[in-house]
Structure 1
C-alpha cells in the first residue's frame, strides 16, 4: 500500500499515526465538546490503562449500554488499544435481552449511561458515562500501552438476533475493518473513504455495525466525526449547515424523515459531497427528491454485521438520472462487489449457480468475521470453508455483476434498518396464556421498508385482541421487534415435519411486488 494510503493493522495504530500527523485537528465533536487527535490518542491510552488496572486482560470483553457520545467512541478506541473486545449493546433492547448479552459475553465491565443504569441487572464492575467517566479516565496513566495487539485480534462483538431466537455475538477483528480503506483509495471508491479532515455526521445507532463501524472508521482516514446522540432531523440539518458537513450515512427511512422536515426546505446542503444509505433500496421518487435537494452523490451500501458492514455498493454513477434512463432495473440492485470482495450464488448443495439464477448469496472477503461467539454449530453452518460465508439472503447476479436481493432464506425482517428474527418474537409472545400458536412475518411498509406482523391462533373461548398481543410483546422484547399488526386465523400452515410455512403466510402481502423484501 502507498504511503498516502497506508494499511493500519489496528485502529490504535491509525489513531497514533493521525495524532502525530494532525495533532490539533478536531477528531470528535459532540455538542459543545471537541476533542483533537492528540487528546483522543491520549484518552484512548488512559482508558486502555484504566481497563488493565481493573484486572482486565487482552481478549476480555468491555460492554457499553447507551446512546452515541464522544465518551462511548473513546471507550471503543481505548478497548481496542488494550487488545480487548468492545460490545456496544443496542439501547432499545429490553432488560431481559441485555441481561442475556451480558451473561453470554462474560463482560468484565459495563459502562452505562445514567438514564439506563437502573434497568440493567449486572453484578460486575459498572461505570457511569457521565462526568464521573472523565474523572475515572483522567486519573489513569498515559504511559504507552505495552500489550501487543495484532491485526487479527478481536475488536468488536456485536449481537444479532438469531434464527433460534437467542442473540449471537458476531466477533470482528481489527483487520476486518482496517484492510478496506487502502483498497478503496486504490480503486477510487471515494464515497467509502473520505479524505483527511473531511467532516461526517455519525447519527446511526451505536450498537449496529453501521454505527460503531462509522465511529471507528473515521480514525482510519483522519476525519472529523460529528456525533449525534441519536438521529434528529432538525439537528442533522442544522449541523450540516454549521459545520459544512461533507458526508452523511442514513437509512432510507431516516432520509425520508429528514427531507420531509420543515427545516429541509430552505436548508443549505451545498457542502454535502455524498450520501450513502443502506438496509434497503431507495425508492426512485425519494432518490429524485434527494438528488434535487442535496445535489450530491448517492451510493447504496449492502452488507451484514458478519462482514463488518459494506461489501457491495451501488455507485454514484448508477444513481445519476442521466445514467438511469433505460437502466431503471439497476436501481433495484444492491450494486457490485467492493474491491477485494467475491460473491457467489449457491444452490441448496452449495454449488455455484450461473448468472440469472437465484440462490443463496455467499461472500468471500477479508471483511468476513472471525466467527460467532461460543456458537460452533452456527459457525459450521455459516462458514463453509475456503473463506466463504453464507449470508442467508437469496439473490441473483446478472451478466454485468450486479447483485439483486430477492428474498431472505433466514426469514429475517429489516424494519427501519433494524434486524428482527421471527423466532425471537414468536418465542417472546408465545407465553401469552391465550395464544395457542403464532407465526411472525415481515410485510411491506412504505415508511420503514418492512413491518413486523404476527399471525396468531387464539385458544378456544378466549377474547384475545390485537392490542393484547402487542402490549404483551412490549413487556418481553424491544419495541422495534414487537408486532405492529396482528391477524387471527384458525390454524397455521405447516409442512409434514411441522415447520411453519412462512412464505405461504407472507405471499398475499407481497403480491404484485418484484421481490419479497423491501
Structure 2
C-alpha cells in the first residue's frame, strides 16, 4: 500500500499533540486532524463513494482542505482540487470532464461567490451526484434545501477508519492546469508521484518536526499542495494557513508564529518587500529575520533585483526553484546548503532528470538555450481523457516537454529564460520578455513590470511594457524610453509603454500575461 495517509497516521501516533495546522486563532493537532479525516472518509463511504471515484473540492486555505483531500485519498478515491476563482461554467466543465461524483464547495464570502457559482456549476453539470457545502462558520452552516453540508456529512460518523490499500500506480489526484494556452487539462497524478514529490520537498527543505512553515500559496495549486501541505504533513511540521495572501497579514503571521520556512511566488516576495518597509510592519522585521531559515521561490522566475531587495530587507536570500503540475510539484531547487546562484533554478531534485533540447530535438550543449524536458518518478501518468495532448507532450524515453526555454551552465546549474509561448519575434529576431523585465526592474522608479509581444504590421510583433511605479515616484514614457535604449539592445527596448496601477494575477499569484495579451487583441 502507498498512501499519504500512512505518514499522517505516523505523526498522529508519535506526535499526537503536535500542532499540524494553524488558522487564525485556531489550531488542530495531528491526532485531531486524523480523526476529522476519518469522519469525512466514513461520511463519503456512507454516500456510496467507491475507490476510484472522483471527489472535487473548491476551498480556500482552511482546515477543510487537507481534511477533505486526505479523506478522499483514505477511501481510495481521487481528489480533484479546483481553483477558487472558477466561474459557474468552468466548474460545470471540470465536474463533467473529471467525472466527479461529489463536489465540496465553500460558501460565499464577501470576496468570492464560490458557493453561488459552485451550486450553479454543479446543477448545470448534470453528472455530479452530491453537492456538499463547506461552511465559513462551522457553528452556523448554510442549509441549502435538498443538499448536504459538511456538518451533515460527518455528523455521527466514527473517527476511526482503515485506509484503503491504494497501490503506487493508482491515481491520487487530478489537477487542472491554468489553461493559459487552451482549455484546462486534467493532470492525472499517481500515489507514488505525490508521495515521492512530498518526500523530495521535505528532503530538499531539510524539514523537521521543529519547523513552522507558512502557507499563503493556494493549496489547490501544485506548489502549495505538494511543497507546503503534503511535505509538512509527511514531516510532522506545523503549517500556518492564510486564507488568502495579504502582505501585512503575512508578515504579522510570520512574526507571531515564529515562522522559519516561507514559500512564495515572485509577486508575493515583491509585496512583502514593499509592505515590510512601512510603519505598520517595520518593527516586526528584526524578529522575522531572526527566525526565518529558508525562503523558497517558484512558479515564475524571480527577477534578480527583487532577490537583492528581499535580501536587503529580510537578511536572507531567496532559494529559487521550479515546479510544474505535470510533475506533482517541485522539480528543482538551489542547494540550500550552499549560496544560491542568482537567477538559477538550481539542480533537479532526487528522482528527477533534466535535458535541454534544440528545435531539432537534439540535446543542447551548455549555455545553449532550448526547451527544458524532464523525466522522473513524480511525472504525471498523462492528461486525463486527453491522449492526444499526452502524446504531444511526451518524447521517446519518457521525457516530458515543459514548454519552458532554459539553459544549463558548465557546472550543471539550470536557468529559466522564458516560456516558449511568451517569446516575442520582432523582425525575425527572438526577444525574451523576462530579460527585458529584469533590466526594467533595476530602474529606481519601477516597482513591477510585465512585457508582452503585440501584433505589428511592420515587424510582426512589437515589444510592449506594462509598468507599475513605486509610490511617490514620477516617470514619463519619454524618459523611460530614453533610459531603456541605453540599457537594452536597439531591437529589444519596448517601443510601447503603458503605466498601470497594478498587474492582473492568476489564482497562484503569477502575472496573468494571457489577460494582458487579450486586452491588446
TM-score range, shorter chain: 0.7 to 0.9
Aligned to 1:498: none
Range moving further from structure 2, 236-245 or 379-388: 379-388
- Calculate the aligned-residue CA RMSD, in Å: 3.0
C-alpha distance after superposition, 1:181-221 (max 9, x if no partner): 65677xx63xx241113111111122210122222221110
Give the drift of 1:412.
9.1
Is 1:224 aligned to 2:235, yes or no?
no
Higher relative contact order (CA 8 A, sep 6+): 1
Aligned to 1:388: 399
Is 1:80 aligned to 2:85, yes or no?
no
Is 1:334 aligned to 2:329, yes or no?
no
SS in 2 for 1:236: helix
The 8 Å contact of residues 83 and 149 in structure 1, kept in 2 or not, is answered as yes
How high is the TM-score relative to the length of structure 1?
0.75
Aligned to 2:355: 344
Change (3 A) 1:410 1:53: farther
Change (3 A) 1:82 1:482: same
SS in 1 for 2:122: coil
Give the drift of 1:375.
0.7
Q: Measure the CA separation in 2 of the matches of 1:396 and 1:98.
A: 38
1:156 to 170, 173, 183: 173
Aligned to 1:241: 255
Q: Measure the CA separation in 1 of the matches of 2:449 and 2:351.
A: 30
SS in 2 for 1:194: coil
Range moving further from structure 2, 161-170 or 72-81: 161-170
SS in 1 for 2:374: strand
Aligned to 2:464: none
Aligned to 2:413: 402
How high is the TM-score relative to the length of structure 2?
0.74
Change (3 A) 1:98 1:455: farther
Q: Measure the CA separation in 1 of the matches of 2:174 and 2:451.
A: 27
SS in 1 for 2:194: helix
1:66 to 59, 70, 76: 59
* Unaligned 5+ runs, structure 1: 1-7, 321-329, 414-440, 458-473, 490-518
C-alpha distance after superposition, 1:459-502 (max 9, x if no partner): xxxxxxxxxxxxxxx9xx9995763477769xxxxxxxxxxxxx
C-alpha distance after superposition, 1:420-440 (max 9, x if no partner): xxxxxxxxxxxxxxxxxxxxx
Aligned to 1:122: 122
Change (3 A) 1:485 1:363: closer
Q: Measure the CA separation in 1 of the matches of 2:237 and 2:116.
A: 36
Change (3 A) 1:245 1:82: same
C-alpha distance after superposition, 1:134-193 (max 9, x if no partner): 4532432333235221233222211114476211001112221322465677xx63xx24
The 8 Å contact of residues 452 and 483 in structure 1, kept in 2 or not, is answered as no
Q: Measure the CA separation in 1 of the matches of 2:60 and 2:183.
A: 23
C-alpha distance after superposition, 1:411-455 (max 9, x if no partner): 599xxxxxxxxxxxxxxxxxxxxxxxxxxx999585666467765
The 8 Å contact of residues 181 and 220 in structure 1, kept in 2 or not, is answered as yes
Change (3 A) 1:486 1:172: closer
Aligned to 2:190: 173
Is 1:302 aligned to 2:302, yes or no?
no
Q: Measure the CA separation in 1 of the matches of 2:359 and 2:302.
A: 30
SS in 1 for 2:342: helix
Give the drift of 1:340.
2.2
Change (3 A) 1:480 1:391: closer
Give the drift of 1:94.
2.9
SS in 1 for 2:351: coil
